[in-house]
Amino acid sequence: MNLTNLTIDDLKRGWHQTATALSCNYCDASWEPTTAIEMIEQHLTIVHGGNQSSLIHLDSRYNTLTAKQQNLLTAFATGIKDADLAKQFQLAAATIRHQKFTFREKAKQAKLYLAIYQSVFESGQTSNDLIALPEQPGIVDDRFAITEDEVAQTLKQYFDFDHEPLQLKRWPKKQKTIVMILTRIIDEIPLNQPLSEAELNAYLRPIYFDYTTLRRYLIDYGFLKRTVDGRQYWRTTTQED
């Protein structure tokens, strides 16, 4: 699932609209724009166990719910009474009520954060600002003078954002374009997590068949660093990180 291109409404219903079709958020299934919503919901139920359950248990680094929280949310969705739920989980009823309160508070925090983020980054006032890049080991020239608008347009040409996982369509010729696609590829690598070469390759291999080239350029342009013996790699940070 590509969260970058999905709205909150898309996530809540389990499908999204592209230029030519209605597409499932979880697989490659797609339908004609005139397809009845009931048919799409049937697909979500039969193939994915329902959108709500799939969303709660989504295997994504952005899903920070613990297994216990996922189970509680699944139970809350059934409408079960607090007292019965407390017995089922062998918890005090007060604990269940407190957990509901915690979920509501987190939702309020998320709402405020989203409003702040959108007011800062989606107001149209910063679209021509230069993006933050890692510190470069060589000479910094116009390859690194890249705006948000340039990145957005370039990424559309080189990635299929309807495809999961992320895949690079072709390797660009211009160095500035390479830098721009690397800014997206590096997002697939976890921060603050040392990786062996095999672990790093596991992240890069699905993106592009020549993953060794990806690895080399990520290092050359400062997005990744490695130990002298090449046994361990880690993602560098920018001011935005």
For 4-57, what is each residue's pLDDT tens digit? Answer: 667 888 899 999 887 778 889 898 888 988 888 899 999 999 999 999 999 999
> Within a domain: residue 96?
yes
Residues 92 and 21 in one domain: no
> Within a domain: residue 19?
yes
> Within a domain: residue 7?
yes
pLDDT number for residue 4: 65
Whether pLDDT at 166 is above 90: no
pLDDT number for residue 140: 67
Per-residue exposure over 93-122, b if at least 16 CB sit within 10 Å of its own CB, e if not: eeebeebeeeeeeeeeeeeeeeeeeeeeee
Work out the percent of the chain whose per-residue pLDDT is above 70: 90
Residues 17 and 53 in one domain: yes
Give the N- to C-terminal CA distance of the chain in Å, as an integer.
Answer: 22
203: amino acid identity, one letter: Y
- Contacts of 41-46 with CB under 8 Å at 24 or more apart are 41/14, 44/14, 44/15
Distance, CA of 16 to CA of 6 (rounded, Å): 7
User: Of the residues 123, 153, 174, which one is the last residue of a structural domain?
Assistant: 123
Residues 182 and 226 in one domain: yes
Residues 223 and 170 in one domain: yes
Residues 166 and 231 in one domain: yes
User: Of the residues 45, 63, 81, which one is the last residue of a structural domain?
Assistant: 63
Distance, CA of 145 to CA of 151 (rounded, Å): 11
Residues 49 and 68 in one domain: no
> Within a domain: residue 129?
no
pLDDT number for residue 241: 46
- Domain at 228, CATH number: 1.10.10
User: Of the residues 77, 93, 123, which one is the last residue of a structural domain?
Assistant: 123
Residues 150 and 223 in one domain: yes
Residues 107 and 52 in one domain: no
pLDDT digits (tens, 9 = 90+) for 140-150: 677 788 888 88
> Within a domain: residue 136?
no
The domain in which residue 95 lies consists of 64-123
Residues 151 and 72 in one domain: no
Q: How far is CA 99 from CA 56, 127, 216, 230, in A?
A: 16, 40, 47, 46
Whether pLDDT at 215 is above 90: yes
Counted domains in the chain? 3
Residues 81 and 113 in one domain: yes
pLDDT number for residue 126: 46
Distant-in-sequence, close-in-space partners of 87: CB < 8 Å, separation ≥ 6:
none
Instruction: Name the burial class of residue 72, with classes exposed (0-12), middle (13-18) and buried (19+) by CB atoms within 10 angstroms of its CB.
Output: buried
pTM score of the predicted model: 0.49
> Within a domain: residue 75?
yes
Q: How far is CA 40 from CA 2, 182, 200, 214, in A?
A: 19, 35, 36, 37
Whether pLDDT at 91 is above 90: no
Residues 179 and 226 in one domain: yes
> Within a domain: residue 190?
yes
> Within a domain: residue 8?
yes
Residues 154 and 192 in one domain: yes
